[in-house]
């Protein structure tokens, strides 16, 4: 079951953002400059010297479909900001804006040993984190467990039992005989939309990211989780149920006090930020001190579920229609890693079947027809192909799909990947801009994590450019100058962030702040 166990001492500083590009040719650099970094001009046809007219026409059409110009970005951002407000109102809106009962930033002086469980989209991770006496430092031991695909659409009991087994195995490995162990406090990163009336409870609003397990939506997940722990005698007490974005926000703020927003651009896409209780009308009935902070898990993946402003393509409509939750997560389905490869695949199949050009004519595309067979790393690989003749992309298509693309088809493939990746990055910037504007943050840091942010080529640069366009920043005098709002690689939210939130919650209970605590006995 276990893949590997690593023991590290991680540095206190956020890891620098890196991309793994290979040596880039002159021509490639020129290509990237032409296509990737220009402020996007709508419906611009690339100068593809060798591409025949009919394919050029297809490329032009794709450019029209997928390009989002500055004016549109601004329009999306305006609506986004209004929707953030709506989510905090009593009536509510599409964006859930879930209060999380995380009621302060860390100081950097938190201490103690905590467990963290991360139930993300792909893996299950268990960590033991020690927040040391030294400011903003920590030690971490972690094990990753595969999240079997069948669990994502299986039975609820099986899910909780599997999680409890992983936790037990972790404790046995690192603590030996668990029967003698005092109950350890745990931060559980459950990265799905949950209504939290308490920090130690969460009613699943709906599954996202392709999960579809019956009997969990509409229920508090904590008792289900705790029942599985109790059945196995796993010595753990839950201190906080956490969203990965909130964890990212808190973990990043632990080492950098300029961090104001935490984002995930991974399998899913979402953000959290710190609001004042007085600005959350839907909590007014609780009479919380108005200037007390409250982290809000936006669940912004649900932005524009009513399809008012996002320029959806026919491919986005298909993705939604064929997903386990049609009508949900409209924004996420255009951005997140789970969907980028699928959008690309749908474009390719459509150009083979339905257009006059018939790309990959007379070839067997049965492998390409398999839904969700291409993930976002496939697009990353295409965008990273350093060769002018796109030989790596050629090999990728041959090896993975048994398709032999012509050179002009390779150009179209490359351009399609760029368009999809660029659109995702530019749309992401709308969310960051909307929160920044709402909070009047003219300068701040945004901590971002997730496979798309960390691994997708140019995602960061494309997002930064879009942010500049939306917020009308003047041109830089020096390219090395920092942007007023910078999206930076975050600290480990679902490990260190979860531990910090457990520590902050235990501390505030000790100080007598019992707001949003369901089981005070767990905090003794
Ligand atoms: C999905 C989830 C959200 C999570 C995000 C990133 O949008 O609904 O809770 O934060 O994915 O993992």
Q: Which two tokens stand for residue 254?
A: 């632990």
Rounded Cα distance between 487 and 473, Å, is: 15
Exposed / middle / buried, residue 157 (Cβ in 10 Å: 0-12, 13-18, 19+) = middle
The residue contributing the CA closest to ligand 1 atom 2 is 192
Instruction: Return the H-helix or E-strand segment holding 35.
Output: helix 26-35
Rounded Cα distance between 137 and 139, Å, is: 7
CA–centroid distance, 502 to ligand 1, in Å, is 20
Which ranges constitute the DSSP H helices of 404-458? 407-438, 451-455
- Please name every residue paired with 261 in a beta bridge, in sequence order, or none if there are none: 273, 446
Q: How far is CA 37 from the centre of its chain?
A: 23
Instruction: Return the H-helix or E-strand segment holding 131.
Output: strand 123-131
Q: Which two tokens stand for residue 35?
A: 């296509």
376: nearest Cα among 456, 436, 492, 468: 456
Of 118, 200, 244, 449, which one is the catalytic site residue?
244
- Please name every residue paired with 240 in a beta bridge, in sequence order, or none if there are none: 187
CA–centroid distance, 148 to ligand 1, in Å, is 19
Q: What share of the chain is helix, strand, coil (3-state, %, to 5)?
A: 45, 15, 40
Exposed / middle / buried, residue 53 (Cβ in 10 Å: 0-12, 13-18, 19+) = exposed
205: nearest Cα among 298, 304, 274: 298
CA–centroid distance, 458 to ligand 1, in Å, is 22
Among 95, 208, 246, say which to mutate for ligand 1: greatest number of ligand atoms within 8 Å of CB: 208
Q: Tell me, yes or no, if 206 is annotated catalytic.
A: yes
Per-residue pLDDT of the chain (524 residues; tens, 9 = 90+): 333 322 222 222 222 222 222 223 333 333 333 333 333 333 444 456 678 999 999 999 999 999 999 999 999 999 999 999 999 999 999 999 999 999 999 999 999 999 999 997 778 999 999 999 999 999 999 999 988 889 999 999 999 999 999 999 999 999 999 998 999 999 999 999 999 999 999 999 999 999 999 999 999 999 999 999 999 999 999 999 999 999 999 999 999 999 999 999 999 999 999 999 999 999 999 999 999 999 999 999 999 999 999 999 999 999 999 999 999 999 999 999 999 999 999 999 999 999 888 999 999 999 999 999 999 999 999 999 999 999 999 999 999 999 999 999 999 999 999 999 999 999 999 999 999 999 999 999 999 999 999 999 999 999 999 999 999 999 989 989 999 999 999 989 999 999 999 999 999 999 999 999 999 999 98
Q: Tell me, yes or no, if 406 is annotated catalytic.
A: no
For residue 490, count other CB atoms closer than 10 A to its CB: 34
Rounded Cα distance between 466 and 468, Å, is: 5
Q: Which two tokens stand for residue 302?
A: 């649900």
> Residues with beta carbon inside 6 Å of ligand 1?
191-193, 208-209, 243-245, 264, 266, 268-270, 299, 301, 332
């Amino acid at each position: 079951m276990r893949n590997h166990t690593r023991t590290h001492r991680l540095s206190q500083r956020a890891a620098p953002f890196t991309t793994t590009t290979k040596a880039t040719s002159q021509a490639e650099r020129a290509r990237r400059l032409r296509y990737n970094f220009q402020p996007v001009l709508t419906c611009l046809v690339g100068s593809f010297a060798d591409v025949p007219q009919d394919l050029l026409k297809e490329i032009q059409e794709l450019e029209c479909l997928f390009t989002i110009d500055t004016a549109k970005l601004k329009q999306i951002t305006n609506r986004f900001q209004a929707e953030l407000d709506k989510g905090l109102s009593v009536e509510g809106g599409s964006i859930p804006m879930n209060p999380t009962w995380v009621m302060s930033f860390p100081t950097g002086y938190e201490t103690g040993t905590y467990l963290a469980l991360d139930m993300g989209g792909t893996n299950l991770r268990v960590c033991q984190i020690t927040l040391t006496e030294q400011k903003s430092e920590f030690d971490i031991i972690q094990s990753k467990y595969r999240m079997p695909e069948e669990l994502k659409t299986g039975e609820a009991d099986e899910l909780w039992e599997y999680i409890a087994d992983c936790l037990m195995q972790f404790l046995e490995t690192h603590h030996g005989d668990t029967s003698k162990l005092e109950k350890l406090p745990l931060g559980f990163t459950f990265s799905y939309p949950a209504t939290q009336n308490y920090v130690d409870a969460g009613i699943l609003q709906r599954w996202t990211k392709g999960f579809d397990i019956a009997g969990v939506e509409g229920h508090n997940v904590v008792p289900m989780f705790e029942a599985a722990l109790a059945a196995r005698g796993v010595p753990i007490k839950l201190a906080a149920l956490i969203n990965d974005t909130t964890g990212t926000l808190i973990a990043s703020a632990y080492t950098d006090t300029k961090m104001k927003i935490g984002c995930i651009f991974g399998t899913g896409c979402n953000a959290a930020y710190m609001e004042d209780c007085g600005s959350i009308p839907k909590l007014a009935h609780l009479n919380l001190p108005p200037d007390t902070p409250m982290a809000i898990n936006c669940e912004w993946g649900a932005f524009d579920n009513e399809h008012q402003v996002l320029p959806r393509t026919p491919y986005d409509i298909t993705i939604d229609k064929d997903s386990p939750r049609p009508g949900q997560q409209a924004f996420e389905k255009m951005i997140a890693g789970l969907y980028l490869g699928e959008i690309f695949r749908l474009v390719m199949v459509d150009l083979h079947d339905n257009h006059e050009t018939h790309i990959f004519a007379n070839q067997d595309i049965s492998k390409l027809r398999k839904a969700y067979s291409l993930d976002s790393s496939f697009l990353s690989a295409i965008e990273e192909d350093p060769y002018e003749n796109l030989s790596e992309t050629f090999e990728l298509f041959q090896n993975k799909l048994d398709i032999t693309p012509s050179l002009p088809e390779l150009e179209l493939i490359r351009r399609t990947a760029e368009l999809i990746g660029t659109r995702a990055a530019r749309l992401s910037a709308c969310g960051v801009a909307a929160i920044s504007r709402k909070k009047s943050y003219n300068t701040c840091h945004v901590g971002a994590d997730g496979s798309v942010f960390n691994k997708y080529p140019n995602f960061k640069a494309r997002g930064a450019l879009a942010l500049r366009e939306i917020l009308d920043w003047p041109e830089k005098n020096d390219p090395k100058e920092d942007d007023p709002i910078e999206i930076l690689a975050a600290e480990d939210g679902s490990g260190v962030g979860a531990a910090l939130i457990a520590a902050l919650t235990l501390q505030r209970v000790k100080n007598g702040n019992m707001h949003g605590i369901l089981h005070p006995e767990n905090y003794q």
